[in-house]
Chains A and B, each alone.
Chain A
Amino acid sequence: MLAEIGHFALILALLVAAAQAVLPMLGAARGDAALMAFGRSAAACQAVLIAIAFASLMTLFGQADFSVALVANHSALSQPLPYRLAATWGNHEGSMLLWVLVLALYGAGIARFGDNLRTTLQARVLSVQAMISVAFLAFALFTSNPFARLSPAPLDGAELNPLLQDPGLVFHPPLLYLGYVGFSITFSFAVAALLDGRADPAWARWMRPWVLAAWVPLTCGITLGSFWAYYELGWGGWWFWDPVENASFMPWLLGTALLHSAIVTEKRGSLAGWTILLAILAFSLSLIGTFLVRSGILTSVHAFAVDPERGVFILAMIVGATGTALALFAARAPQMKSGALFGSISREAGLTVNNLLLMALTAVVFLGTFYPVIMEAVAPANKISVGPPYYNLVFVPLSVPLLLLVTAGPMLAWKRDDLATLARKLLWPAVVTAALLAGLVLALGWQQVVAALGLALGAWLVLGAGLVLARRWWSPNGFSLRLVRTTPAATIGLALAHAGIGFTTAGIAAMTSFAAEHILVMRPGETTSAGPLKLTMLGAEEVDGANYRALRARFAVRQNGSERILVSERRFYDNSRNQTTEAGIGVSLLGNQYVAIGDVQSDAKGQGLVVRLYWHPLVGWIWFGGLLMALGGAASLSDRRFRIGAPQSRAPLAPALVPAE
């Protein structure tokens, strides 16, 4: 019964979405307030219906109702309840349902928190949002119905690989979805602005919190994914340039660009066309992210559905949405005014360069990901691969100027500035960074100059973030608590996020240059070293676990006079005939000690265990930086200016006038 209720709710949601896609748009064109108001009610109604469907499915998983095919295929009675519930979105059909749920919740958010929005704009945003909704609901209902019954119902379901039952898998996909789907709102805003014929500062201010609402969970999701890959896949990999990772990274890069270009549009009325273009592309890349995972085109380690039919549907959606939006852009953009001019040395110019570099970085990832597929189609005789060496060679040189700019940007004045003023403001961070660089080169030698540059770059970013706050908190009369209290949340967000990139940069630099490893055969009592680590194998024994047998080795790791005991296990699961390795990881502020055992092998001294010892310097900083960025985004999101409405008192600089509502 519950399955039918869920299915019915989903069908109703599709019908509501279809009406919502048409009527408010009509209302906006005719100036019919009733039709426009319908959009708000429909959005709320749609969200409630999809929530009912989702709750039904989750309850079915909770009840272990194996008469539903999806439940039977993806959960078993032996699975702990939290993982049975998480299985709701741990599969294709359920994850599509989660996708439309998030989509509808964002839509309801626009209806609920969009009180200060221009009514025609709100109506059009809701309409466009509903069009996306219709496409995805149809996709879910017609190609991947989560509520399909199974007869006869089995007594127990098929458990998913127990190794997948991991907290990382519970939170990683929903966070990414919040990000991907969040960019649907900015897409809707962009299309609505094109239809509305206005992209003014007020429009940008309305849109910006939604950009942040997508960017923050996406940042968290990517950070979590990277961390998960590190502790699950081991051997010090924290980013693999895997197509699926790239699929989440591209919308992130463009989303970051959008976040910054929307500031220019909000504050100065400039770059509106560019902002619209970015909003369209960010969502297209999010759709491509889904497409990559759903279709077999780019099979990678993450892909969990190989089904070309679904891929074609999503490809049609991408082409339809992007094509229509870009055509609309091409038709309307020439009529748009360019907004206020700015000098070549100004905050606007800085943010423009930021955008261009982020766009180029997105192009690196895009080309790297798709070039092999395109080559296969165009020149099948000359198949190529694109891997980490390509990205290191192209991505890094393009990101260094961007990172240098991050500290300079917030010091620039709007409209017009000059280099002398900028240099004066940046004097202290520059001196400190240069001193640090000199010290590092002296201490490490010239052969480590790249590492020194990377660490100094990290320091430059953190100092720059500190400078933003310092300039805000110190007046000519000295430090003022009042100034601290009145600092806008957005300024604190800026400082946190920029400091976050600094920590991530330092972590990457240290990991690239100072990571050490030693792979060898060891016997109890033997000692080896890697980087600053001294490792002694204390002993190895066989132990019995709940449903596995294991070979357990104990090690003592010494570093700077302190000693830690690390344990690594190799587990053999008789039932599933799986082998797993549990690494021993010693976490500290300055780096992780990582030891893992392998098979039994022989070397010159006889039989022993294969041991992999790694030193991962500052690796934790990479994820700490990611979290700081997300925290910064959240802080900006809490800024009260997003809640007090459009800038009505200030004369807009763009030609369009903000109506006094």
Chain B
Amino acid sequence: MTRLLLALMLAPMLAIAAPAAAVLPDEMLPDPAQEHRARAISKDLRCVVCQNQSIDDSDAPLARDLRLLVREQIAKGKSDAEVRDYVVARYGNFVLLKPPVEGDTLLLWAGPFAVLILGAIGIALWQRRKPATSSADAPLSEAERAELDRLR
């Protein structure tokens, strides 16, 4: 059982097995400009049954369905935003590899910059907290004084 699990887990890693069968020629739109847009949109959509793969990279059947769906919508003349909204309406935010900026994801988007700013403030306060002490006026501890005496 464990081995079976192992094999299942490893299977995607060995995508050498079927290296990114991903986009196939028969899916492509005849118009290169539209196909280009489809590829760009596909890169930002998650293959919902895969681990961390975009539908552009995945060879899962569901990813193929989504790729075809995206192309179908583009062929209908929808704009990039409309296509994305259409997919999100069906699958939720989970399908977006770039999560929307909203209340729930504020920390995700602002967090790194907050770390930068808070860190800077923290270090500045730390450095200001105590004036520089040069070695000359650093008092020796009792133990150090004793050790110094012993060495003399």
B89 proximal to A (CB < 8 A): no
Please tell me if the beta carbons of A161 and B14 are within 8 angstroms of each other in the complex.
Answer: yes
Give B96 Cβ to nearest chain A Cβ, in Å: 6
Interface digits, B109-152 against A, CB 8 Å rule (1 contact, 0 not)? 10111011001100100110111111100111000100110010
Give the CA-CA distance A356 to B98 in the complex, in Å: 25
Q: How far is the CA of A610 from the CA of B20 in the complex (A)?
A: 12
Distance, CA A390 to CA B105, complexed state (A): 12
**Chain B min CB distance to A609 (Å):** 10
Q: Is B62 an interface residue (CB 8 A)?
A: no
| B interface list, Cβ under 8 A from A | 2-3, 5-7, 9-10, 12-26, 28, 43-44, 46, 51-52, 54, 57, 92-99, 104-105, 107-109, 111-113, 115-116, 119-120, 123, 126-127, 129-135, 138-140, 144, 147-148, 151
A233 x B98 contact (CB < 8 A): no
Which residues in B have their C-beta under 8 angstroms from that of A656?
Answer: 138
Provide the residues of chain A in CB contact with B9, threshold 8 Å: 299, 301, 303-304, 306
Q: Which residue of A lies closest to B139 (CB)?
A: A655
How many Å from the CB of A157 to the closest CB on chain B?
11
Kindly list chain A residues whose C-beta atoms are within 8 Å of the C-beta of B46: 385, 387
Are the CB atoms of A660 and B93 closer together than 8 Å?
no
6 nearest A-B residue pairs (beta carbon): A387-B97, A389-B98, A655-B138, A234-B19, A360-B116, A341-B132
Complex Cα distance A52/B102, Å? 56
Contact bitstring A325-360, B, C-beta under 8 A = 1, else 0: 000000000000111111000000000100111011
**For the complex, is A158 an interface residue (Cβ under 8 Å from B)?**
yes
Pick the interface stretch among A18-26, A75-83, A376-384, A430-438. Answer: A376-384
The answer to whether B109 and A388 have CB atoms under 8 Å apart is: no
Known: A164-B14, A299-B51, A337-B133. A367 touches B108 (CB 8 A): yes
Contact digits for A384-401, partner B, Cβ 8 Å, 1 yes 0 no: 111111100110001000
Q: How far is the CA of A306 from the CA of B3 in the complex (A)?
A: 11
Contacts of B92 in A (CB 8 A): 382-383
Contact B99 A390 (CB under 8 A): yes
- Asked if A512 is at the interface (CB within 8 A of a chain B CB), the reply is no
Expressed in whole angstroms, the minimum distance between the Cβ of A74 and any Cβ of chain B is 9
Chain A: CB-nearest residue to B30: A604
- Which A residues touch B10, using CB under 8 A? 161, 164, 304
Cα-based distance from A338 to B129 in the complex (angstroms): 7
Q: How far is the CB of B123 from chain A (nearest CB, A)?
A: 6
Which of A242, A304, A375, A387 has the largest number of chain B CB atoms within 10 A? Answer: A387
A306 touches B5 (CB 8 A): yes
Report yes or no: A601 in contact with B26, Cβ–Cβ below 8 A. Answer: yes
Which of A271, A339, A360 has the most chain B CB atoms closer than 10 A to its own CB? A360
Given A302-B13, A383-B93, A386-B99: A235 touches B22 (CB 8 Å cut-off): yes
| Minimum CB–CB distance for A117 against chain B, Å | 16
Report if A389-B44 is in contact (Cβ < 8 Å); known contacts: A163-B14, A163-B17, A384-B94: yes
5 A-B pairs with CB atoms under 8 Å apart are A235-B20, A299-B9, A299-B51, A390-B108, A596-B19
**Complex contact B24–A519 (CB within 8 A):** yes
Contact A73 B3, beta carbon cutoff 8 Å: yes
- Using Cβ atoms and an 8 Å threshold, which residues of chain B touch A660? 148, 151
Q: Bin chain A's interface residue count.
A: 35 or more
**Smallest CB gap from A306: residue in B:** B5
| The residue from A235, A371, A519, A580 contacting B17, defined by CB atoms under 8 A apart | A580
Pairwise interchain contact B112-A361, C-beta atoms closer than 8 A: yes
In the complex, chain B residues whose CB is within 8 Å of the CB of A301: 9, 12-13, 51-52
**A237 and B108 in contact, given A386-B97, A656-B138 (Cβ under 8 angstroms):** no
B148 to chain A, nearest CB (A): 8
Say whether A235 contacts B130, CB under 8 Å: no
Which chain A residue lies CB-closest to B119?
Answer: A356
Complex Cα distance, B26 from A386, in Å, reads 30
User: 1/0 per residue A134-178: CB within 8 Å of B?
Assistant: 000000000000000000000000100101100000000000000
A659 contacts chain B at the CB level, 8 A cutoff: yes
A300 touches B133 (CB 8 A): no
Residues from chain A with a CB closer than 8 A to the CB of B147 are 659
Asked if residues B98 and A359 are in contact (CB atoms below 8 Å), the reply is no
| Nearest CB on B from A622, distance (A) | 19
CB distance from A240 to the nearest CB of B (A): 7
Given A359-B115, A657-B140, are A581 and B19 neighbors across the interface (CB < 8 Å)? yes
Other than A363-B112, A387-B98, A601-B24, give 11 A-B pairs with Cβ distance below 8 A: A73-B3, A303-B9, A338-B129, A356-B116, A371-B108, A385-B96, A387-B97, A388-B54, A519-B28, A580-B14, A655-B139
Q: How far is the CB of A268 from chain B (nearest CB, A)?
A: 10
Specify which chain B residues have a CB less than 8 angstroms from the CB of A300 in the assembled complex.
51-52
Closest Cβ neighbor of A236 among chain B residues: B20
Q: Measured between alpha carbons, how far is A304 from B107 in the docked complex, in Å?
A: 31
A651 to B138, CA, bound (A): 11
Report yes or no: B94 in contact with A383, Cβ–Cβ below 8 A.
yes
The residue of chain B having its C-beta at the shortest distance from the C-beta of A401 within the complex is B116
How far, in whole Å, are A627 and B85 apart by their CA atoms in the complex?
43
Closest Cβ of chain B: how far from A78's Cβ, in Å? 16
C-alpha spacing A163/B6, complex, angstroms: 13
- A565 CB contacts on chain B under 8 angstroms: none
Instruction: Give 1 or 0 for each of A570-612: 1 = CB within 8 Å of chain B CB.
Output: 0000000011110100000000000010110111000000101
Q: Which of B24, B130, B135 sits near A598, CB closer than 8 Å?
A: B24
Question: For the complex, what is the distance from the CA of A302 to the CA of B15, rounded to whole Å?
Answer: 12
Most buried by B among A243, A363, A393: A363
Q: Closest CB-CB distance, B94 to chain A, in whole Å? A: 4
B10, closest chain A residue (CB): A161
Considering the chains assembled together, what is the distance between the CA atoms of A602 and B26 in angstroms?
8
- Chain A's nearest CB lies how many Å from the CB of B107? 7
B-chain residues with CB within 8 Å of residue A235 when the two chains form the complex: 19-20, 22, 57
